[in-house]
Structure 1
Amino acid sequence: MMANISMNLTSNVTSEEEDDDELFGLRTIIPLGITIAIVIIVAIVGNLLTIAVFFKDRKLRTAYNIYIVNLAVTDLLLGCISMPFYAVYTLRTHLWPFGYHFCKAYMVIDFTLCLEAVVVMIILSLDRLLLLKLGPQYMYKETNTVACVKIAISWVISFLLYSPAIIGWDIWTGEDTNAPGDCDVQFAYDFSFTMSTAVIEFGIPFICLSVLNLIIYLEIRKRIRHKDDVKVIPKNQPPGIQATSSSANYPGNDGPRQQYAGESASNKAMDAKRIRSIRSQTKAAKSLGLLVIVFAATWAPYTIATIIISACETCVNDDLYEFLNWLLWTKAALNPFLYAYNSQRFRKHFIAFFLCSKKRNRIHTETTMRT
């Protein structure tokens, strides 16, 4: 009798503990699931809108914006493929229900997309530097066809860095490092390979991006200083004629006043064009700088954690690692806001889209009420 009572008490305590665990799980899973769903929806809608705006507005079809749209396509695929399947894995407490072969296919897609986003950042920085160095020749040398070729090459590079190892690592080594129901790359705990790929994937690109953006910044500063230095008043300039950046090349007593007036107007137009060009380049450099900052802030923690785990499996908490993984992917949701913030044309189309959506909803509501 006492044994039965003891067993019943134990059973009740165990049942209560299970209920508490389940309740705690629900308290965690529900807000986590809502947060993940918001990130996925924003990433998909924002990048779809970016792509649609590019094809709608012909003036946006430049080489630079082709790279931006390629980045938007990459982020869209992350939102449609990488995030939803990994959300299931995360919410099921690291249980992969889709099988061994789909795990490999998923890892190939995810790693390729993530690396492509890094390669595009380097291409964007090189493009801005070429714009500064080539000047008017930029439009003739960096055509849309050249941009498409660069993008094609970047996808090949992104695929080749990780995909062979993801597909064949366990075949080459004869060992499956994944536990049943888990999905991870087989080389996750190989320090040498992980360190090498981390340097290639993040270390070298980050150094390249920092150097390229520093060169861009210094080049723009040099142009601004040059613009300010050349605005001097010529010694013999006739009265009533405003100083321009090129007026110092012409002596004040050479030719009639009308010639000076014509040259002054022409030089003023050139100055205005030069100022607009510098402003445009400065704005483009700032927008690129923001993209690089977001890239570094979202990628660096994940990369460092990956290196640590490859050397010490238990040194990084599983939940922290999952958070850093999702932090990396939030870049896909943030980038469309950066495009709208940095580009007036993108921003105008985005606002028009949301205003039209509100207007359609208002008309539908009024029609329903009248009906």
Structure 2
Amino acid sequence: MVLLCLVTILGNSLVILAFVMDRNLRHRSNYFFLNLAVSDFAVGVFCMPLYIPYSLTGKWHLGRGICKLWLVMDYLLCTASVFNIVLISYDRFLSVTKAVSYRAQQGITSNPAIKMVAIWILAFLLYCPAILFWELVAGHSVVAADQCYAEFFNNWYFLLCASTLEFFVPLLLVTYFNVHIFHDIQRRQRRGSVQDCEPPRSSSLSWRFCGLPGPGASSPSSEAEDNVPYSMKPKKGSLGAECSSPSRDNSVTPENDYSVSFCAKTRSKLQQDKKIAKSLAIIVCVFAVCWAPYSLLMIIRGACQGTCVHSFLYEGAFWLLWINSSLNPFLYSLCHVKFRMAFLKILCHKKFATLRSGSF
């Protein structure tokens, strides 16, 4: 338990520190990852340490006031973590499927801040009023003096409604966003592969020869170009091999040179969208595995008043819920090149300097 707590604190503090030290991470969509890291960091700093003695002894020794505070923080932070995952998925969905309008809003700095604040407000309203005022409305408390759990712990109707909003609806949303991202990428790939098969008839067909729309058409949707990792950008020497000019004498004209560079640029964006879809799929799968057991067991336990679910099984599902907060920082480093480079810069500064000098 202590080890899991330390991993959660150190991993998420590394994400927060990366934002402070690396300006390259201060992109609009990455602020949502920062919001998620803050909620997960607070879980490791406050929720886990206070729960460990309670889990080992079976008794709460810190008083009623601290218990209420712990419950509010635990439900608030875990719910905010889920809602942040939904927000990240929605932002990725827009960046891939509606790139024109998404890029047009890049300069609106207040838009991400409003969404981030809204996440915390919605997370607070879902559980915290019930935690604070359930006892006053009911007129009595059902929690023993040496125990610490919410008054609605055995209320099946409330748990079903709250779990639907906290887990099932978010799971459907992130699945919907992820499926549409994959469909959008597959559609663009099929369109590009069909156009690639068309034989070149004249130099004016160089756009279709590269699997691209003409100069007046809109390019395929993708995230901002500056998010494309350096290693993914095509080198000048490989452009001619991938999108050769259809001119008869193989001369490099301004039109052909522009079409080749535009083709390579668009393909690099498509590769970036593929990485976005894969990283989002991993985050969604981890979220589902960590949250599904607890959400289902909580509803079942409430329906049978705690008699049909073994306490050990419920305790395991409860800790699995917190494991999600420990895994999120590692998902960033594995799925995002800029996060990986920022972590390397912080942890191994000399190695990062060597790699950077070698890349140039």
How many Å separate the matches in 2 of 1:137 and 1:283?
A: 21
Q: Contact (CA 8 Å) 1:66, 1:147: kept in 2 or not?
A: yes
Partner amino acid, structure 2, of 1:174: G
Indicate yes or no: 2:31 matched with 1:38: no
Q: Contact (CA 8 Å) 1:232, 1:244: kept in 2 or not?
A: no
How many Å separate the matches in 2 of 1:216 and 1:235?
A: 31
Tell me what 1:281 maps to. 273
Task: Output one character per residue of 1:134-159: Cα deviation in whole Å (capped at 9) or x when no partner.
Answer: 32442331544211110001110000
Q: Contact (CA 8 Å) 2:95, 2:102: kept in 1 or not?
A: yes
How many Å separate the matches in 2 of 1:235 and 1:108?
A: 65
What's the offset of the Cα at 1:209? 1.3
What's the offset of the Cα at 1:348? 2.0
Tell me what 1:303 maps to. 295
Indicate yes or no: 2:41 matched with 1:48: no
Q: Structure 1-normalised TM-score?
A: 0.80
What's the offset of the Cα at 1:232? 3.8
Partner amino acid, structure 2, of 1:147: P
What's the offset of the Cα at 1:233? 4.1
Partner amino acid, structure 2, of 1:345: K
Task: Output one character per residue of 1:76-115: Cα deviation in whole Å (capped at 9) or x when no partner.
Answer: 00000111101111122x2111111211111111101111
SS in 1 for 2:98: helix
Tell me what 1:252 maps to. none
Q: Contact (CA 8 Å) 1:233, 1:248: kept in 2 or not?
A: no
How many Å separate the matches in 1 of 2:4 and 2:61?
A: 22
Moved over 4 A (4+): 246-249, 255-260
Tell me what 2:135 maps to. 170
1:109 counterpart (73, 91, 110): 73
Tell me what 2:326 maps to. 333
Number of residue pairs the alignment of both structures matches: 317
Partner amino acid, structure 2, of 1:303: S
How many Å separate the matches in 2 of 1:127 and 1:289?
A: 14
1:348 counterpart (341, 344, 353): 341
How many Å separate the matches in 2 of 1:272 and 1:132?
A: 18
Tell me what 2:148 maps to. 183
How many Å separate the matches in 1 of 2:274 and 2:188?
A: 10
Q: How well do the aligned residues superpose, as a CA RMSD in angstroms?
A: 2.6
Q: Contact (CA 8 Å) 1:230, 1:245: kept in 2 or not?
A: yes
What's the offset of the Cα at 1:170? 1.1
How many Å separate the matches in 2 of 1:245 and 1:284?
A: 22
How many Å separate the matches in 1 of 2:174 and 2:291?
A: 13
What's the offset of the Cα at 1:257? 7.2
Tell me what 1:18 maps to. none
Tell me what 1:207 maps to. 172
How many Å separate the matches in 1 of 2:310 and 2:321?
A: 17
How many Å separate the matches in 2 of 1:88 and 1:161?
A: 27
Q: Contact (CA 8 Å) 1:66, 1:144: kept in 2 or not?
A: no
Tell me what 2:162 maps to. 197
Indicate yes or no: 2:86 matched with 1:122: yes
Tell me what 2:99 maps to. 135
Partner amino acid, structure 1, of 2:332: Y
What's the offset of the Cα at 1:163? 0.8
What's the offset of the Cα at 1:352? 3.7
Tell me what 1:224 maps to. 189
Q: Structure 2-normalised TM-score?
A: 0.82
Give identity over the alignment, percent.
Answer: 32
Tell me what 2:258 maps to. 266
Measured at CA, do residues 235 and 280 of structure 1 come closer, stay the same or move farther in structure 2, by a change above 3 Å?
closer
How many Å separate the matches in 1 of 2:314 and 2:295?
A: 10
How does 1:151-170 map onto structure 2 within 5 Å? 151-170=116-135
Measured at CA, do residues 235 and 335 of structure 1 come closer, stay the same or move farther in structure 2, by a change above 3 Å?
closer
Q: When you count helix as a share of all residues, which structure comes out higher?
A: 1
Structure with max Cα Rg: 1
SS in 2 for 1:196: helix
- 131-140 or 279-288, which moves further after superposition? 131-140
What's the offset of the Cα at 1:334? 0.7
Indicate yes or no: 2:80 matched with 1:80: no
How many Å separate the matches in 2 of 1:106 and 1:235?
A: 68
How many Å separate the matches in 1 of 2:302 and 2:211?
A: 59
Unaligned runs of 5+ in 1: 1-35, 250-254, 359-371
Unaligned runs of 5+ in 2: 216-246, 352-360
How many Å separate the matches in 1 of 2:125 and 2:154?
A: 20
Measured at CA, do residues 135 and 172 of structure 1 come closer, stay the same or move farther in structure 2, by a change above 3 Å?
same
Partner amino acid, structure 2, of 1:288: L
